[in-house]
Amino acid sequence: MKKAFALFAITLLSVGILSARKPDHVSVVSGNVKILGEKETLCSVKFDYSQTQVDEKPLMEYLKEKGDDYVEDWDEEATFAQQYFYASFNDENSRGLQVFPFGEESIYAYEMTIHVNELDLGEGGSMFNPWARRDAGGMKMSGTIEIKDKASGELVLVLKVDGIKGESHVSQRVRMGLMYDNLAEEIAELN
């Protein structure tokens, strides 16, 4: 009986450890991730939505179909959500590279561009379903991330983002923020 209980306990522990592992949505295409560990180094970040597709439509076309309020609010909502990325990345990577909103100042050694190619805006209603997973209805994105040496203009790191997802929330800006929070954590984990 003790052997059966021990085997059962080990099985439960193994399943718990395996299921707790985060899926990998960020991978290195080229370059060296060691730049993420550079101490006292600053990096400006800009988000590129110029090629973003939502439901197989260009982002602005999609927003226009939803209504003028969606178009008018987009920049403010995206800027709000991006704050999650900066805070999470700097917290998770506190002993390495630190990121800030895009700036031309000479204090930045690197420039990161996050190209959002595909965006699933998710749905806030699923958060009220008690049987839904925490990320049900969360926003999801795919794209690429390029980091350039600001002085030389040389591309030093390229990452691929494949289906990173955030948790559900009623607010679109918070859903996007939670997605960017997860993105920041996975990038920092590469270090």
Compute the distance between CA of residue 148 and CA of residue 110 in angstroms, rounded to an integer. 6
User: What value does the mean pLDDT take over residues 159-187?
Assistant: 87
User: What's the whole-model pTM score?
Assistant: 0.81
Q: Give 88-109 pLDDT, tens digit per residue.
A: 999 999 999 999 998 777 789 9
Percent residues over pLDDT 90 in the chain: 60
Cβ count within 10 A of residue 183: 26
Ranges 18-32, 98-112, 126-140, 146-160: which has the least confidence: 126-140
Comparison of pLDDT for 146 and 12, the residue scoring more: 146
Label residue 184 by pLDDT band (50, 70, 90).
very high
Phi/psi at 9 (5° precision): -65, -40
27 strand-pairing partners: 160
For residue 51, give the nearest of 140, 148, 135, 141 by alpha carbon: 141
**Total domain count for the chain?**
1
Domain hosting residue 56, numbered range: 24-189
Residue pair 52/116 in contact (Cβ under 8 Å)? The answer is yes
User: What value does the mean pLDDT take over residues 161-168?
Assistant: 85
Taken in order 180, 181, 186, 187, the sign of the CA dihedral is positive
Taken in order 168, 171, 176, 177, the sign of the CA dihedral is negative
User: What value does the mean pLDDT take over residues 67-84?
Assistant: 92
User: Amino acid identity of 46?
Assistant: K
